Amino acid sequence: MISERDIKTLVKTKLQDDPDRFLHVIGVVRHAEDLARVTHNDEVKARIAAWCHDATKRMDRTEEIQQITGAYPDIRLSDWPEPTRHALTGAIFAETVCGVNDPEILNAIRYHATGRPAMGVIEKILFVADFIEESRTFLTASQRELPRKNLDLAFRSFLEMKVAYFHQEGMVIAKLTEDALNYYRK
Ligand SMILES: [Fe+2]
Ligand SMILES: [Fe+2]
């Protein structure tokens, strides 16, 4: 794996047309590190996943589809609504460009936009950190504090909020998100 500093530089370059997105990434890195620390998990893994998670957000749609179908020939694109696909290309970026081969980091990136059943702790940390980052202005102070007290509870309630919001806005919900919801409601 290349150094964390080099990963940060690469991500900054990839998001140079979207400085607000890069600021979001910096915020998610900070939250992911904090949540890993308070839950006694690997801070480095949490940070690396956070640096990479939105790195490919600006990729054009044609290249996105080419990369995804090349790397995951069995994937059904219809299961991955367009706003979730950067999670797949983000994992490809982490693996092929940054040399990340840790499955916990790669899965955290790959499933950060959808969730999935039976998520690992680094996956939950990234999902939650992405949700509480300051540009998400719809959260109350106590909702923002919840993950530090109870990561699992925060994860489940944010997953519910995300799905409720998608329903309200008439947005397509990824199959994995439905599966995650069913899994975590049990
Ligand atoms: Fe994302
Ligand atoms: Fe994000």
List the domain boundaries for the chain: 4-185
Cα 47 to ligand 2 centre (Å): 13
Q: Tokens in use for 78? A: 């219809």
pTM above 0.85, yes or no: yes
The string of pLDDT tens digits covering residues 123-140 is 999 999 999 998 878 899
The letter for the amino acid at 61 is R
Cα 38 to ligand 2 centre (Å): 21
Select 4-185's CATH number: 3.30.70.2860, 3.30.365.10, 3.40.50.2000, 1.10.3210.10. 1.10.3210.10
- CA distance linking residue 83 with residue 100, whole number of Å: 23
Predicted local confidence at residue 134, as pLDDT: 82
Predicted local confidence at residue 144, as pLDDT: 94
Going by C-alpha positions, the residue among 53, 176, 61 that lies closest to residue 110 is 53
Ligand nearest to the CA of 136: 2
